[in-house]
Chains A and B, each alone.
Chain A
Amino acid sequence: MTIRQTMIGIAGLTALCAGSVNAEVTVLGWPGGPEEEALRVVAEIYNARPEVAEEDRVDLLFFGRDGFFDKLQADLAAGSDAFDVNLLATYSIGRYAPYMEPVELSDQAEDVFGETVLSTMRFEDTQYGVPTDLSMHFLFYRQDLIDALLADDTARETYATISEEYLGEAMEPVAPDEMTWRDFAATALYFTAAVNPDSPVRYGTVLQMKNLLFNIMVFQSLPRAYGGDWMDDEGNITVDSDAYREGLELYKLLYDAGATPPDSLSYEFPEANAAFTSGQVAMMVQWSGAAGALLDTDAAPVTAEATRSVAPPAGPEGRFTHIHGLGLGLNANAQNPEGAKAFLEWLSTEEAAVEYARAGGAPGLTGTAIEAVAEERPDLVPLGEYASDYGYVMTGATGANALSVYELQAREFTGYWGGSQDLDATLSATADGMADLLKD
């Protein structure tokens, strides 16, 4: 073979390989959980559709969860075209928007997901993604313990004494779906062995207080119920408010009273689940994604049968749950943008959303879409309902620096809870930092 022939051969092979790389829609998904399983299933369904051309078939790409968003940011900033479609999260849309293109949804999208859920994938009124999974918070509690408290007059007297001592008023126990945050605190204190030696469990609740941005998302429904927000309509930072004061003080009161484990300052999702399923905790506010594990008798043999969930407690301004979505959006440097757009549009149809839910995903669905999966996935029913009724996103929380704001709050708030700084200094430093981060 001559050198010329060899070169032609290499060029041909290179073109073939390049062609095969272009002849697909590469989707970078959220790895290692039910989201990956569900995405694999819908990708197979999509690829089997007769109208999908071979060059537009979906190929999935996953890498580890650890540092996922940091790696994704580095990839996007470097102008990577290794994927056409990539994962998005509500709190990071503003950060990724400069490297992404808006997407077009199907005509059914509004009926399938509802306005609140669709808005979790929007930045500056532009739709950057198709929502796939919805996260929010539930109040998980032990029905057996609450029933015993409500039925016992002596326990009610103890409850009133404890609430008067710690919260300044004699309170009556109430059912979880009627709880305000003060009821939550009183109930947590009642079920705390350090406060009430007769408590059947060691702790009334387990708070996730690690210096971690996700824990602030769990916390902030409390100040939100008192009217708290990041900023007002004029763009003024409003975190130094009575609402945040109330929330931060309530957490500190519970921590200092021993109503949550002393190591709560290092707790996040798995530690809180482990504490609750040990049978030594009466209730906790936790991510909706924990429902599967907490209600599974194999995963939580001690507590699963008695565990129930409702929306988080209410405050003077109502009942709220932080919501955020995971979704898929279009990389601005996509090699196959048309194929990617077609896939994303299909993903926002009822057919795709229902299949995604059946395969283990957790989309927030409404209307006929949720009816179609309600029997197989009863846990998804409250997702759509709570998202519509109680869901909120703080003003500015989809901005380019939203993650940094959460990081800042996590550092400052945990400093207060840990006792290294006072409340005034905490709120002042948080407000100053937020003003700097959100000034644009």
Chain B
Amino acid sequence: MTRPARLENAILTAPLVVFLLLLLGFPTILDLVYAVSEVRFETLRSPSFAGLSNFTAVLGDPEFWRATWFSLRFAIVTALAECALGLFLAVYLAPLLRRAPWLLAILIMPMIVAPAMMGLMYRLVLHEFIGPLPNLLYAWFGTSPGFLTAQNVFTTIVVIETLQWTPFALLLFHMAYQSIPEDIREAAAVDGTRSWRLLTRIELPLMLPTIGVALFVRFIDGFRVFDNIWTLTGTGPGGSTTSLAIYIYVAFFRAGEIGEAVAASIMLFGAAFVLLFAAARWSTRGVR
């Protein structure tokens, strides 16, 4: 590249670089400073160096591990449920969607709703006295379970998350299923392959990369869950629905433990980075 061209490129990209430095660089540096500082709202402008004490405090906090376990459990269960259901629907509804593709637009509508709105909506839907679901159950069976009791709340929020995000998995799997060349299916049919064998031995292996991506995306989304749980149950009875994101929010804004909250978020970032790196390596290897 000639010197004038390099200069031109530098001038043209400078605004973007400055923008990114301001938008991402400054908060990142500030986060790193706060993570190793004793800092509260009163001392935002004069943090004092505290070494790694915030990290050790977070790692020694049973609530942090409880929140991590909640997020992990929630992410695994919802990712598996969404992908299993999405895969089933993609295969089961394939003939119907081939004839009436507009149905797909209706099926993916739950994805459009903001997660916070979803939480608020279910606050109404599940309310014993004004919610349609408990009212129907009372009308039909004379009773209704407590959907948000300490015993049932995890199942309820898993179901809500699954209902909202299964369409995402359905969309991916539908596309993957449709992209399998028809001649492969025809060749299998000519060889007398039965439907179940066609699905398990030919179609699913061809969809495997998409399944992996869907599981990974849904796991990440489930792990960082915040909005719908926060608006539906908050931190839950005894903190039973405190996800890692909620833990960080509460530590930052409610407890004013800014250093610890930032330290927890940095650890979350580190864990996510390792996971993403591993996933990227895995997918690259898959391509090779």
Binding site for B on A (CB under 8 A): 67, 70, 73-74, 76-79, 95, 98, 209-212, 261-263, 265-266, 271, 274-275, 278, 280, 401, 403-404, 407, 411-412, 414-421
Q: How far is the CB of B154 from chain A (nearest CB, A)?
A: 12
Q: Whose C-beta in chain B lies nearest to the C-beta of A211?
A: B235
Whether B254 is near chain A, meaning CB under 8 Å from some CB there, is yes
The answer on a CB contact under 8 Å between A263 and B149 is: yes
Residue in B44, B123, B129, B238 whose beta carbon sits within 8 Å of that of A411 in the complex: B238
B:235-252 near A, CB below 8 Å: 235-240, 250
A-B contact pairs, 21 of them (CB 8 A): A70-B254, A74-B41, A95-B41, A211-B233, A211-B234, A211-B238, A262-B145, A265-B149, A266-B123, A266-B232, A266-B237, A271-B127, A274-B129, A274-B130, A411-B238, A411-B239, A415-B237, A415-B240, A418-B149, A419-B151, A420-B240
Residues of B at under 8 Å CB distance from A?
Answer: 41-42, 44-45, 123, 126-130, 145-151, 153, 232-240, 250, 253-256
- The interface residues of chain A lying within 8 Å CB-to-CB of B253 are 67, 70, 73-74
CA of A115 to CA of B233 in the docked complex: distance in angstroms?
A: 38
10 closest A-B pairs (Cβ-Cβ)? A415-B238, A262-B146, A418-B150, A418-B237, A266-B148, A278-B129, A77-B41, A414-B237, A70-B253, A265-B237
Other CB < 8 Å A-B pairs besides A73-B256, A271-B123, A407-B255, 17 of them?
A: A67-B253, A77-B42, A79-B45, A98-B42, A209-B237, A210-B237, A261-B146, A262-B128, A265-B148, A266-B148, A278-B129, A411-B238, A412-B238, A414-B236, A414-B237, A418-B238, A420-B240
Which residues on the B side are within 8 Å of A210 (C-beta)? 233-234, 237
* Complex-state Cα separation, A403 to B147, whole angstroms: 29
Q: Is the pair A211, B42 in contact by a Cβ cutoff of 8 Å?
A: no
Please indicate the chain B residues that have their CB under 8 angstroms from the CB of A278 in the complex.
Answer: 129-130
Query: What's the minimum C-beta distance from A331 to chain B, rounded to whole angstroms?
Result: 15
**Residue of chain A at shortest CB distance from B45:** A79
Contact partners of A266 in chain B: CB under 8 A: 123, 148, 153, 232-233, 237
* Residue picked from B123, B128, B151, B234, most chain A C-beta under 10 Å: B128
B237, closest chain A residue (CB): A418
Chain A residues, Cβ within 8 Å of B240: 415, 418, 420
Query: A194 CB to closest chain B CB, in angstroms?
Result: 10
Inter-subunit contact A403/B254 (CB<8 Å): yes
CB distance from B31 to the nearest CB of A (A): 15
For A437, give the chain B residue with the smallest CB separation: B255
Closest chain-A Cβ to B129's Cβ sits at a distance in Å of 4
Q: Tell me, in angstroms, the Cα distance from A278 to B234 when the chains sit together.
A: 25
Query: Which residues of the partner chain B approach A419 to less than 8 Å between Cβ atoms?
Result: 150-151
Contacts of A79 in B (CB 8 A): 45
Partner of A261, one of B45, B128, B236: B128
Q: CA A212 – CA B230 in complex, angstroms?
A: 11
A404 contacts which chain B residues (CB < 8 A)? 254-256
Neighbouring B residues of A280 by C-beta, 8 Å? 129
Q: Chain A residue with minimal CB distance to B255? A: A404
B101 CB to nearest chain A CB (Å): 39
In the complex, are the beta carbons of B238 and A263 less than 8 A apart? no
Q: CA A262 – CA B148 in complex, angstroms?
A: 8
Q: Which residues of A contact B130 (CB under 8 A)?
A: 274, 278
Kindly list chain A residues whose C-beta atoms are within 8 Å of the C-beta of B151: 419
Q: Is the pair B238, A416 in contact by a Cβ cutoff of 8 Å? A: yes
Q: Shortest distance in angstroms between B157's beta carbon and chain A's nearest beta carbon?
A: 11
Shortest Cβ distance from A77 into chain B, in angstroms?
4
The reply to whether A211 and B149 form a contact with Cβ atoms under 8 Å apart is no
The residue in chain B whose Cβ has the minimal distance to the Cβ of A270 is B123
A78 vs B41: C-alpha distance when bound (angstroms): 8
Question: A263–B237 contact, CB under 8 A?
Answer: no
Contact of A212 among B126, B234, B239 (CB under 8 A): B234
User: Are B147 and A411 closer than 8 Å at their CB atoms?
Assistant: no
